[in-house]
Amino acid sequence: MGNCFANSGVDNKIHKNITSTTYNQHNTTSSAGVEDERSTVGAKIAAVEKERGGERAVGKIVTPNLKMFTLDELKSATRNFRPDTVLGEGGFGRVFKGWIDEKTFKPAKVGVGIPVAVKKSNADSLQGLQEWQSEVKFLGKFSHPNLVKLLGYCWEENQFLLVYECMQKGSLESHLFRSPEPLSWEIRLKIAIGAAKGLAFLHTSEKSVIYRDFKSSNILLDGDFNAKLSDFGLAKLGPVNGRSHVTTRIMGTYGYAAPEYMATGHLYVKSDVYGFGVVLLEMLTGLIALDPNRPTHEMNLVEFTKSSLSDKKKLKKIMDQRLEKNYPLTSAFLIAQVILKCLESDPKNRPSMEQVLETLEKAQTIKVKTKVKKSRSSVHQKTKSPNEHNWSL
């Protein structure tokens, strides 16, 4: 089975201080007889965020109902966090694969029940605590087919953990840059559309949410290559009272973070759109956003390829060679134009994610033209004399 939860091997995260906030919650252990408890943290969040009445794109805001796992339960589910169960590692800590009963969420033997991804914090990590809070706050209340599902959490013995549904195919990043099997053009578009739906849902929810760390390693794939956004550790509520942006500490990932945010700390909803454009560019070219191993002028993917996106001939030269030209150039060029709009330096000039989604769905309808081999009879007809053709006129 593939990775349930994957993270980048090389993480170019930006960390310039973070504001400290904590929950007024102490170590809590769930009783053995309680199987479906409502989380204390979730209840606090629910008091602040009332459930939204309508739905958009099958997504909705729900009353948090997360399982409060004990540390012993998660140790049992992951075989005491054995090294061979590690799926990935990032700034927060490590992610382990575990098994739980589908109905009771109690620990289960390997191969029995359902697989889960357990994210375990580094000890005494302030960053980890804050990202843990953010994950519970946002994933605990959102329900959407293109957002990874948070099943529960644990805060015990100075450690904080999160338990997610397992994503069998791992991350988009691993498929684009490390897998020997290239993703087909159709699968790439399917993934892009799914990720766009998830981001559009966040941006248009009752209180818009800025994802802030959109990148290929945070797009996870299930067994059918359906895309789901993961890792909400840096997510922020969008601007209110008519404001265009929120001002915050600069955090994110080099190569994906929008230039206005990097320069000023001003975070717009459309700062996410810039990151989406970078990921689309990765999907077209098969190259990662920032690679110090490439020649200096090619190190930054956006700077290196941007001038080629407005010309079809130049675009063909930067397309992922592993696609072996098995893609409709008209569709690729349409997406290239969307990328250029997403990468506009002024966030006001970038499209909304709903507009991006609409264009991607249009690009999906453009199919590869199949080359029809000419039969001998058709070749023979071409060689007939003019008189032979005239009789049927």
DSSP string spanning 324-347? TT-S-HHHHHHHHHHHHHHT-SSG
Q: Which residue has the tokens 């601007």?
A: 239
**Which pLDDT belongs to residue 141?**
84
**Which pLDDT belongs to residue 258?**
96
Does 204 lie in the same domain as 128?
no
Q: What is the pLDDT of residues 293-310, one digit of tens each?
A: 999 999 999 999 999 999
Total structural domains within the chain: 2
The rounded distance, in Å, linking the Cα atoms of 240 and 244 is 8
Q: Check which CATH number belongs to the domain holding 218 and give it.
A: 1.10.510.10
- The amino acid occupying position 183 is L
Does 252 lie in the same domain as 177?
yes
Q: Check which CATH number belongs to the domain holding 50 and give it.
A: 3.30.200.20
Is the pTM higher than 0.85? The answer reads no
> Given 123, 140, 165, which residue is the final one in a domain?
165
Q: Which residues are catalytic?
A: 213
**Which pLDDT belongs to residue 42?**
39
Domain assignment of residue 378, yes or no? no
In the chain the first and final C-alpha atoms are separated, in Å, by 64
Domain hosting 239: range is 172-364
- The amino acid occupying position 65 is N
Q: What is the pLDDT of residues 313-355, one digit of tens each?
A: 999 999 999 999 999 999 999 999 999 999 999 999 999 999 9
Q: Which residues of the chain carry a pLDDT beneath 50?
A: 1-3, 5-11, 15-57, 379, 381-393
Burial tier of 48 (Cβ tally within 10 Å: 0-12, 13-18, 19+): exposed
Domain assignment of residue 351, yes or no? yes
Does 194 lie in the same domain as 137?
no
Does 82 lie in the same domain as 208?
no
**Which pLDDT belongs to residue 12?**
56
Task: Answer yes or no: are the C-beta atoms of 281 and 266 closer than 8 Å.
Answer: no
